[in-house]
Amino acid sequence: MAEVNIKINGRDYAVEAGSTILTACRKAGIQIPTLCFLKDVNEIGACRICMVEVKGARSLVAACVFPVNEGMEIFTNTPRVVEARKTTLKLILSNHKRECLSCVRSGSCELQKLCHDYGIEDEHAYEGVKSHYEIDRSASHMYRDNEKCILCRRCSAVCAVNQGCGVIGANARGFDTHIGCSFDVPLGDVGCISCGQCIVACPTGALSERDDTEKVMAALRDETKHVVVQTAPSVRVGLGEEFGLPIGTIVTGKLVSALRALGFEHVFDTNFSADLTIMEEANEFLVRYTKKENLPQITSCSPGWIKFCETYFPEFIPNLSTCKSPQGMFGAVAKTYYAEKMGWDPKDVYVVSVMPCTAKKFEAERMDHTAVKGLPDIDAVLTVRELARMIKKAGILFNELPEGTYDAPFGLGSGAGTIFGATGGVMEAALRTAYEVLTGEELKKLEFNDVRGTAGIKEATYEIAGNTIRVAVVSGTANAKTLLNDIKAGKRNYDFIEIMACPGGCVNGGGQPIVPANVRNFTDVRAIRAQALYQDDQNLPVRKSHENPDIKAIYAEYFGEPLSHKSHEILHTGYTPRKKY
Determine which helix (DSSP H) or strand (DSSP E) holds 207, and give its type and residue range: strand 207-209
Residue span(s) of the chain under CATH 3.40.50.1780 come to 214-571
Residues comprising the chain, all counted = 581
What is the structure's pLDDT at 199? 98
CB 521 within 8 A of CB 398: no
Please say if the pLDDT value at position 434 is more than 80. yes
Please say if the pLDDT value at position 378 is more than 90. yes
Distance, CA of 457 to CA of 215 (rounded, Å): 39
Q: Hey, what CATH class is 3-93 in?
A: alpha beta
Indicate whether this model's pTM tops 0.75: yes
Q: Quick one: pLDDT band at residue 67, thresholds 50, 70, 90?
A: very high
What is the structure's pLDDT at 123? 65
pLDDT, one tens digit per residue, over 201-232 is: 999 999 999 999 999 999 999 999 999 999 99
Distance, CA of 564 to CA of 10 (rounded, Å): 73
| Bridge partner list, 74 | 8, 54
Average pLDDT on 410-428 reads: 95
pLDDT, one tens digit per residue, over 173-194 is: 999 999 999 999 999 999 999 9
SS (H, E, C) 399-419: HHCCCCCCCCCCCCCCHHHHH
Average pLDDT on 497-514 reads: 97
pLDDT, one tens digit per residue, over 117-159 is: 999 986 677 888 899 999 999 999 999 999 999 999 999 999 9
Report how far apart, in Å, the C-alpha atoms of 346 and of each of 334, 338, 374 are: 8, 9, 11
Residue span(s) of the chain under CATH 3.10.20.740 come to 3-93
Distance, CA of 371 to CA of 188 (rounded, Å): 26
Q: Which CATH number fits domain 214-571: 3.40.190.10, 1.10.3720.10, 3.90.1420.10, 3.40.50.1780?
A: 3.40.50.1780
Average pLDDT on 34-63 reads: 95
Would you call the peptide bond into 409 cis, given omega within 30 degrees of 0 as the criterion? Answer: yes
Distance, CA of 307 to CA of 78 (rounded, Å): 50
Helix (H, G, I), strand (E, B) or coil at 139: coil
What is the structure's pLDDT at 565? 96
Residue span(s) of the chain under CATH 3.30.70.20 come to 123-209
Distance, CA of 52 to CA of 62 (rounded, Å): 7
User: Rounded to 5 degrees, what are φ and ψ at 190?
Assistant: -120, -175
Average pLDDT on 79-94 reads: 95
What is the structure's pLDDT at 488? 97
CB 24 within 8 A of CB 10: no
Distance, CA of 352 to CA of 364 (rounded, Å): 10
pLDDT, one tens digit per residue, over 440-497 is: 999 989 999 999 999 999 999 999 999 999 999 999 999 999 999 999 999 999 999 9
Q: What is the crossing angle of helices 384-393 and 252-262, to 10°?
A: 60
What is the structure's pLDDT at 579? 85
- What mean pLDDT is reported for the chain? 95
Distance, CA of 470 to CA of 478 (rounded, Å): 21
Average pLDDT on 54-83 reads: 95
Distance, CA of 358 to CA of 525 (rounded, Å): 19
| Fold of the domain spanning 123-209 | Alpha-Beta Plaits (3.30.70)
Q: Which residues, other chains included, contact 513 with Cβ-Cβ below 8 Å and sequence gap of 6+? A: 238, 239, 241, 242, 384, 385, 388
User: DSSP secondary-structure letter at 19?
Assistant: -
> For the purposes of burial, counting CB atoms within 10 Å of the CB of 442, is it exposed (0-12), middle (13-18) or buried (19 or more)?
exposed
Distance, CA of 475 to CA of 307 (rounded, Å): 14
pLDDT, one tens digit per residue, over 514-543 is: 999 999 999 999 999 999 999 999 999 999
Residue 155: how many CB atoms within 10 A of its CB? Answer: 23
Distance, CA of 346 to CA of 9 (rounded, Å): 67
Q: Quick one: pLDDT band at residue 439, thresholds 50, 70, 90?
A: very high
Distance, CA of 194 to CA of 510 (rounded, Å): 9
Bridging pattern class, strands 380-383 and 457-464: unpaired
